Amino acid sequence: MITRKIFITSALLAFALLLAACGPSDAELTPTVNPDAIRTEAVSTFASSLTETALANPTATITLTPTLTNTPIALATTNLTTTSAVVTSCYKLVYVADVTIPDNTQMTPGQTFTKTWRVQNTGSCAWAPGFKFTLVGGDAMGGQTLSLPQAVAIGATTELSIAMTAPSNTGTAQGTWRMSDDKGAYFGDPLTVVIVVGGTGATSTPGTPATSAATSTATPTITATP
């Protein structure tokens, strides 16, 4: 019995030694950890996952194409029409005839005469008393501005007379006269007087003698047309 126990014990001991001899050593059982290898492996794994993700989701190419749309712009509408202020006068004057001293009448130096024009009011307003008949150019030859003493009705004719004196020097003398309203605005036809100084005397208009003396007051004669 004792021998049997010794045999079993020896067998167990031998088996234990055998197992100890065949098993791994403590050094072999302790794993060796390399930090660089772990990082490399992690990076490799991450890169591999990115590659798989990229393959699973192909990159979309976005092309931005600008689109030009012609959208009309509403501009503020401004009236660009420039309206010129045109003053239309209702006063009109039309030359009818030279009653005395037609153009190019021969005069001696210093000779006095009265120039008379016949005119007509062809406007839509009567000429008011105080309207002026004034020299606007040339030689006045001593003539003075005439003020209408009375109104001239629409359609009426009147005669405007101005006393003048021929210049002392020879040659052609000329003056231009016009009518103006109460505001000083001229209207109607310009009326001229033209004489030639240096002749033997005034040449009269047929049926109308030339004056030899200046008239002290020039008064228009107003004649209404039928």
Contacts of 187 (CB under 8 A, 6+ apart): 89, 91, 92, 93, 123, 178, 179, 180, 181
Q: What is the pLDDT of residues 21-74, one digit of tens each?
A: 555 555 454 455 565 655 556 546 545 554 454 445 555 454 555 555 555 555
Largest CA-CA distance found in the chain, in angstroms, rounded? 201
Higher pLDDT, 6 or 195: 195
Higher pLDDT, 225 or 198: 198
> Edge-to-edge, what's the strand order for the sheet holding 105-107?
105-107, 186-197, 171-180, 132-138, 146-147
pLDDT over 60 (residue 163): yes
Q: pLDDT category, 211, cuts 50, 70, 90?
A: very low
Tokens in use for 175? 């003056």
**DSSP per position, 143-200:** ---EE-SS-B-TT-EEEEEEEEE--SS-EEEEEEEEEE-TTS-EEEEEEEEEEEETSS
Separation CA 187–CA 124 (nearest Å): 13
Give me the residues paired with residue 152 across strands: 127
Nearest residue to 138 via CA among 178, 174, 185, 113: 174
Mean pLDDT of 68-97: 62
> For the whole model, what pTM was predicted?
0.55
pLDDT over 50 (residue 79): no
Superfamily of domain 94-204: Immunoglobulins (2.60.40.10)
Separation CA 96–CA 148 (nearest Å): 18
Q: Where are the domains of the chain?
A: 94-204
Q: What is the pLDDT of residue 190?
A: 98
Q: What is the pLDDT of residue 212?
A: 33
Question: For a pLDDT cut of 70, what percent of the chain falls above it?
Answer: 49
pLDDT over 90 (residue 95): yes
Please state, in angstroms and as integers, the Cα–Cα distance from residue 150 to each residue in 13, 161, 189, following that order.
Answer: 169, 15, 20
